[in-house]
Amino acid sequence: RARTAADIPEAGGRCYRVGMVCGRRFSIVVSVLAGVIALGGCSAPDRPARLAGGLPDGVTRVFVPDTLRSVHVAHGVRYHYLWSATGPFAIHLAEIDLDRCGIGVDVGVVDAGLRSVSEIAALHGRTVLVAVNGDFFTPEGRPTGPEVSRGVVRASRTRPALVWHGRRAWIGAAGVREGLVEPLGWAVPDFLAEVDVIGGFPELVDEGSRVGDLGVASNPGFAATRHPRTAVGLDLERQRLWLVVVDGRQGAYSTGMTLPELADLFDALGATEALNLDGGGSSVMLLRGRRVSRPSDAEGERPVVNALLIVEDPDGCR
């Protein structure tokens, strides 16, 4: 059946029929957390994706949308929802402008055991704007990669990771040794700037190119099969951060993505670095504590070992 605003998780906004993309009709739902974006008329623009808050046109060419939606979360933070019948794909994207002061990147951690991302965000101590699940973890509840939260080293092993230091972000193989994040040489802890590190696997994009075959040949069940996915990417200037969750294992709603498809998405977003995080039943995205994605587990959110959080950071504007 035709999808409407009611079909979109937490849609809350009006559905605007705005035209055709590649010969297919689609809708855009536009809403904000405080107030409504006014649209001038209902005529179709040359580049419909811009009505959704500026998704790069390459995204709508690769993943032809039947529905687009955009939410203003905070200054410098926007949320986009894209649903395409071609997968089908249900894609949740948080776009973060790292040039904006007042925004920080934190790793939310668990003192013992596992917790849902909702619980991790609620207990974090800062206002959490966006939250997604983080690293893979062992049956004993330990992250498989490095984990540093606000300067406190909790796991030091070297694996692909996202590193946040002050107002700088970096993706690549990283670990912690003798108080430094290798290979960057950033001090942990640092009295001048906080350090956060969260691991993942594999790197999807490095210096603008897909990293090998992403494990398709060696581990096809993981890499070449569609699953729910969570991932993070950076643009060339490392000024724009993308958090992505793709719902999956849900039939006609969304099947998920392979790792090559996920790499294609980041390429379309203009990301030159991207890292896959834990996926499957762990994949989830929250906006200001409200879940916008649809986890694949029947029980809802799966308990996880850590989370990647976009937070309000008033000290960043001083």
Is position 287 within any domain? no
Please state, in angstroms and rounded to a whole number, the distance separating the CA atoms of residues 276 and 199: 9
Is position 17 within any domain? yes
Cα torsion for 44, 47, 51, 55, to the nearest 10°? 160
With tokens 């090998």, the residue in question is 212
Q: What is the pLDDT along the chain (318 residues), one digit of tens a residue?
A: 333 333 444 433 333 333 333 334 444 443 434 332 232 332 333 333 344 457 999 999 999 999 999 999 999 999 999 999 999 999 999 999 999 989 999 999 998 899 999 999 999 988 999 999 999 999 999 999 999 998 888 998 999 999 998 788 999 998 888 777 887 777 777 655 678 999 999 999 999 999 999 999 999 999 999 999 999 999 999 999 999 999 999 999 999 999 999 999 999 999 999 999 999 999 999 999 999 999 999 999 999 999 999 999 888 777
pLDDT value at residue 32: 36
DSSP state of 254: B
Q: Are residues 189 and 210 in the same domain?
A: no
Is position 20 within any domain? yes
Q: Are residues 74 and 132 in the same domain?
A: no
Is position 290 within any domain? no
Please state, in angstroms and rounded to a whole number, the distance separating the CA atoms of residues 104 and 167: 8
pLDDT value at residue 193: 61
Q: Are residues 183 and 207 in the same domain?
A: no
Is position 313 within any domain? yes
Question: Token digits for 117?
Answer: 């991302």
Q: Are residues 170 and 181 in the same domain?
A: yes
Q: Are residues 19 and 70 in the same domain?
A: yes
User: Side chain identity at 27, as an amino acid letter?
Assistant: S
Q: Are residues 134 and 107 in the same domain?
A: yes
pLDDT value at residue 315: 80
Q: How many alpha carbons lie under 13 Å from residue 223 in its C-beta half-sphere?
A: 16
Q: Are residues 79 and 123 in the same domain?
A: no
pLDDT value at residue 29: 44
Please state, in angstroms and rounded to a whole number, the distance separating the CA atoms of residues 52 and 46: 13
Q: Are residues 84 and 18 in the same domain?
A: yes
SS3 221: helix
Q: Are residues 175 and 228 in the same domain?
A: no
- Give ∠ CA 161-216-305 in degrees, rounded to 5: 35
Q: Number of structural domains, the chain?
A: 2
Name the nearest CA neighbour of 138 among 157, 163, 117. 157
Is position 213 within any domain? yes
Full domain range(s) for residue 146: 103-200+296-317
Is position 69 within any domain? yes
CB 81 within 8 A of CB 9: yes
Q: Are residues 112 and 254 in the same domain?
A: no
Query: Can you say how many angstroms the Cα of residue 312 is from the centroid of all Cα atoms in its chain?
Result: 17
Q: Are residues 195 and 301 in the same domain?
A: yes
Q: Are residues 158 and 16 in the same domain?
A: no
pLDDT value at residue 192: 52
